[in-house]
Structure 1
């Protein structure tokens, strides 16, 4: 009787489903208990903000060409014909001038209604919804053609994760929830669902999931220690705006929460690739338990198994055509290979993983520098020396987050390798045992 099959599923698929089910059973009640109320946003002074679409006419941006204008100040005006039929005069910031607004353009209008005083209508942004949908459709087609089904599932996972982060994490923090608690729940739930939905249920996915959880936890702890020792407050221009809008919030905790979310994608990339490397080195075609080596041990490659000839080896002769001396030499070679099989597998997997982790480190570094390039240029414009720039709150916190992410990367790669080897050995042994039971 094939005891290792459950209603058409392999044992590894069954165990993977059980793991995901346990995570969901544990996490979903917490999500429901923490789910924010989704109340309309309002500023601490009681001002409410509404947004609507409109078409412009009578656009006047003559005053926006001045040498220096505050980004939030109105330098132009226009008549906005709202989609609901109303008409309003709106103020336009320099952003609208840079975007080249003119009559007939479609825009988003922000309406601020204070507790006392006049209602203010102003330009918020160019309406880009249609363009973004077209761009997304083009990208989706390219992903489908290049990556296939997994790419499409990854795209769907991205959209669902973004929606969940907005509705649960962002809204929860806005309503006064603990940023770290919301980020931790979001990270575990998103990692579990996205990884298994995109890559399937199996030992390889479980290894990637476990390695990512270890890496994210390590990076979070490292970031907390580094930021505490460096006495970082987390107060930057962006976070100051968050305090103004949200009210009382621990900005240092908010920064760590942001680090958690940022690391999901970075570490997930490392873990999935590293788990695939281990399974490929072991001769697995996929995570379903099929292999190239005919059911040998998990820590053997085909060349290490006695009694098998390689491609063209020994002229294609079997053991029956070898001399006794040749048989002894083959047995001795197999014995020597067997003594080194586990270290060899670990070393080969780590060699590839180290290349991937190293490239990820400088990829992340360049991404951080690119995202902060405008701040660096502004600092240069103010004549700030590099040693002072590196110690400023915004840049120092970025450096701490970067270093914490690198620590997470260094832990994630070997941890995932160990998980993948363990799961792969268990899988190979399970497959071999199942074949023996089926044959019996």
Structure 2
């Protein structure tokens, strides 16, 4: 009789476990199919709209950089420069006559004027580059009606040191996290590819921002979570919790922007979008940014919760879902508490320059906090924090129900 009861309990346990796992698998399969359909329907088609007139001429981000190298730098009076090749007009004219400048002789290394020399003058104003012999820089080139070239300083050529830092980061991640770190880097490349090939082009063409952000987020999550964390129920639980909280965050972002009426115009990039790409909705762009911006934090929290439940099950295979949920939520509460101020600090840090400007004006504190630039970051933080408060319990519940080895055991 005891053996029969044990067999019945084991049958119930396996049946319960299989039922929960089948529900999760079916839900994920449905979400995957919907994601593929969304990718097909929303995939960017046709040509991208051209920016309004004046964009390429007035914005350095649109200029093509011409590589050059600094041959020498010396002090000189502004606008009293040594003679250079007659085909090359001096850069950055208009400094105060007789002022103190530094003058850099620059050799152009690519383009139609390769090998020729031009002169850059620097008045030492805040933000001006400090050029020294051997520095590699980028110049912006324009051409006058008579065919003469005019070169102005565009940026420092930082390609080599930047790639050194990236390579060091890659090696550090692989050294610390081994094969899983390498898989995470592959997932990062895939993430950037989805954003660059699908999300950004579709937004430029005026696609629906909320749907685009949700579909892009799901398209990233499905392969990346299983690639990095393995094809197992722990990863499946994390994926389920992330998808639920991603959709919830999309709804929260839509409601938050609609009720607070933030416009995002404290951000220079949004102003440029409104000015030069009027067919793109700045509000929609903010919505997509809010959703995608929360995705990393949500994935971090859900993977941590699923891993916590998995470790609890390994430590105590007899633990029931209710006990697993309660124990893992104690860890999740710490995670929520730490991530909330992490999100706020990250978003406020991004808006710190404008926050500094607002701090020196004579405005009441409440007006500063509710100004568009600060309110945008506060709303962004609120959406991220609310998304986390949903992601942690949702993932913990899914993982506890899926990973427990005693889902359906009843007292006898």
Secondary structure in structure 2 of the residue aligned to 1:264: helix
Tell me what 2:9 maps to.
none
Ranges in structure 2 where 5+ consecutive residues have no aligned partner: 1-13, 15-20, 58-62, 79-91, 96-100
The alignment covers a number of residue pairs equal to: 359
Of 121, 125, 131 in structure 2, the residue corresponding to residue 101 of structure 1 is 131
Tell me if structure 1 keeps the 8 A contact 2:245–2:390: yes
Q: Work out whether residues 275 and 416 of structure 1, in 8 Å CA contact, stay in contact via their aligned partners in 2.
A: yes
CA distance in 2, matches of 1:74, 1:408: 52
Aligned match of 2:323:
344
The answer as to whether partners of 1:346 and 1:417 remain within 8 angstroms in 2 is yes
The residue number in structure 2 matching 1:246 is 277
Q: What is the rounded CA distance, in whole Å, between the counterparts of 2:197 and 2:123 in structure 1?
A: 29
Q: Is the 8 Å Cα contact of residues 35 and 168 (structure 1) preserved in structure 2?
A: no
The yes-or-no answer on 1:221 pairing with 2:231 is no
1:327 aligned residue: none
CA RMSD of aligned residues (A): 3.8
Structure 2 partner of 1:424: 403
1:34 aligns with 2:44: yes
* SS of residue paired to 2:131: coil
1:87-98 correspondence to structure 2 within 5 Å: 87=116, 98=128
C-alpha distance in structure 2 between counterparts of 1:209 and 1:107, whole Å? 45
Retained in 1: the 8 A contact 2:210–2:250?
A: no
Normalised to the residue count of structure 1, the TM-score between the two structures is 0.70
Separation in 1, partners of 2:124, 2:210: 36
In the TM superposition, what whole-angstrom CA distance separates every residue of 1:298-344 from its partner, at most 9, and x where no partner exists? xx23xxxxxxxxxxxxxxxxxxxxxxxxxxxxxxxxxxxxxxx4432
Secondary structure of 1:192's aligned partner: helix
Give the 3-state SS of the residue equivalent to 1:148 in structure 2: helix
1:50 counterpart = 2:50 = no
- Secondary structure of 2:314's match? coil
- Conserved? CA contact 1:111–1:121, under 8 Å: yes
Matches within 5 A, 1:172-187: 172-187=202-217
Aligned to 2:169: 139
1:36–1:139 CA distance, 2 compared to 1 (3 A): farther
* Secondary structure at 1:388 match in 2: helix
1:272 aligned partner: 303
Distance 1:61 1:229, change over 3 A: farther
Instruction: Determine the structure 1 residue equivalent to 2:81.
Output: none
**Contact persistence 2:305–2:328 (CA under 8 A):** yes
How many angstroms apart in 1 are the aligned matches of 2:387 and 2:130? 44
User: Aligned-pair distance for 1:215?
Assistant: 1.3
Which of 278, 281, 292 aligns to 2:312? It is 281
Does residue 396 (structure 1) correspond to residue 405 (structure 2)? The answer is no
Rate the CA distance shift 1:344–1:429 in 2: closer, same or farther, 3 A.
Answer: closer
Matching residue within 377, 385, 406 for 2:385 = 406
Please state whether the residue corresponding to 2:70 is helix, strand or coil.
strand
d(CA) in 2 for partners of 1:74, 1:174: 37
Q: Counterparts of 2:138 and 2:376 in 1: how far apart (Å)?
A: 34
Q: Which runs of 5+ in 1 are unaligned?
A: 5-10, 65-71, 285-291, 294-299, 302-340, 431-440
